[in-house]
A = this chain, B = another copy of it.
């Protein structure tokens, strides 16, 4: 469903929501806890920082923290910059134009399902997932 990259981003954000309470967390800690390649995660966290999801502090005793409280961060903000979510709902048959007025063959039926998914990512916050269950692998 999500690309590896988007999945890593989500898991890292959830880790920060759960274990980061106010402190700065280093890439190394997250990478080890979640078993994600360290340098790869580094770039993902950097991207999330540019997106305004995280804040980073450089230098000794630096690290990453959430830019807002977990109940103010929506999943789409975290995974959107990677996978193909967030932008537009895209047509199941890959048409550039696919609307209620100019629908593809699958439009009416697929719309229901795709909208549900879009709403999930758009309206679910990190806070709602924290505590749902264990996060680490």
Contacts and interface: CB of A to CB of B under 8 A. Distances in A.
A77 B134 CA distance: 34
A93 B124 contact: no
Interface of A is mostly: loop
Contacts of A94: 2, 4, 7, 11
B113 A129 contact: no
Q: Tell me the number of copies of this protein.
A: 2
Nearest to A109: B124
A33 B44 CA distance: 41
Interface in A74-114: 84, 90, 92-95, 102-110, 112-114
A14 to B, nearest CB: 6
A113 B106 CA distance: 18
B117 A129 contact: no
Contacts of A24: none
A128 interface: yes
Contacts of A90: 1
Closest 9 CB pairs of A and B: A105-B132, A103-B133, A105-B129, A113-B120, A7-B94, A105-B135, A106-B129, A105-B133, A113-B117
